[in-house]
Amino acid sequence: MEQQIKEWRSRGYIPHRDKIHLLQSITFRLADSFPQNILLELEEELLKLPREEQDLEKRKKIEHWLDSGIGCCALKHPKMALIMQDTLLKFDSESYFLFAWCIMPNHVHVLIEPYISLSKIIQSWKSFTGRWALKHNAELELGVPGKSFWMREYWDRFIRNEKHFNNVIEYIHNNPVKANLVTKKENWKWSSAYYLK
């Protein structure tokens, strides 16, 4: 029997569409990956744009800043990246189908088909990896400031059609190239592109 989920929800920030079997592109980031002062400047800048352009422009700017490597970038540590990757793979084909993923130094991209509530999936990923990171913070010199590893919110976009699906996979796989971490997408070890080569 399929679980009943309230399809649209929000905590006052970003609206999320949570529907079983609805393909979703998800991005979540470390708590210190986007400093508050930069976010405030961005919010002021966005007010100059028409309302319908603000969300897209905000996402583009934040993605640019994330790719520049702000914050502790704890996910660049091989042990932390491996824990994150193993966590994503652990419930593949059980709680969701994982089409693509990429673990960047300060954020993660995934494309999944959820079989349970999307919010529960993301909460389980963040909960396990966040506890692990904080426990091993000093030992691995991850540099995580404070007691929060992950930013509370996340971005999700449901996949509209086959072209959108293919574009999202290409974006996920090319993110390390765009961020100048590698020259070829298949060389980034913490991505599904690495396993497809």
Question: Do 43 and 116 have their domain in common?
Answer: no
Question: Do 178 and 112 have their domain in common?
Answer: yes
In a domain, 152, yes or no: yes
**Residues 81-139: tens digit of each pLDDT:** 999 999 999 999 999 999 999 999 999 999 999 999 999 999 999 999 999 999 999 99
**Residues 1-25: tens digit of each pLDDT:** 344 455 645 544 455 668 899 999 9
Q: Which amino acid is at 186?
A: E
Q: What is the pLDDT of residue 15?
A: 57
In a domain, 5, yes or no: no
- How many angstroms separate the CA atoms of 125 and 110, rounded? 11
Does residue 5 or residue 157 have the better pLDDT?
157
Average pLDDT, the chain: 89
Q: Which amino acid is at 109?
A: H
**Tally of structural domains, the chain:** 2
Question: Do 52 and 97 have their domain in common?
Answer: no
In a domain, 6, yes or no: no
**Residues 44-55: tens digit of each pLDDT:** 888 888 888 887
* Containing structural domain, residue 164: 17-32+73-196
- How many angstroms separate the CA atoms of 2 and 32, rounded? 37
Distance of alpha carbon 56 from its chain centroid, rounded? 16
pTM check: above 0.95:
no
Q: What is the pLDDT of residue 37?
A: 73
| 3-class SS of residue 148 | coil
In a domain, 79, yes or no: yes
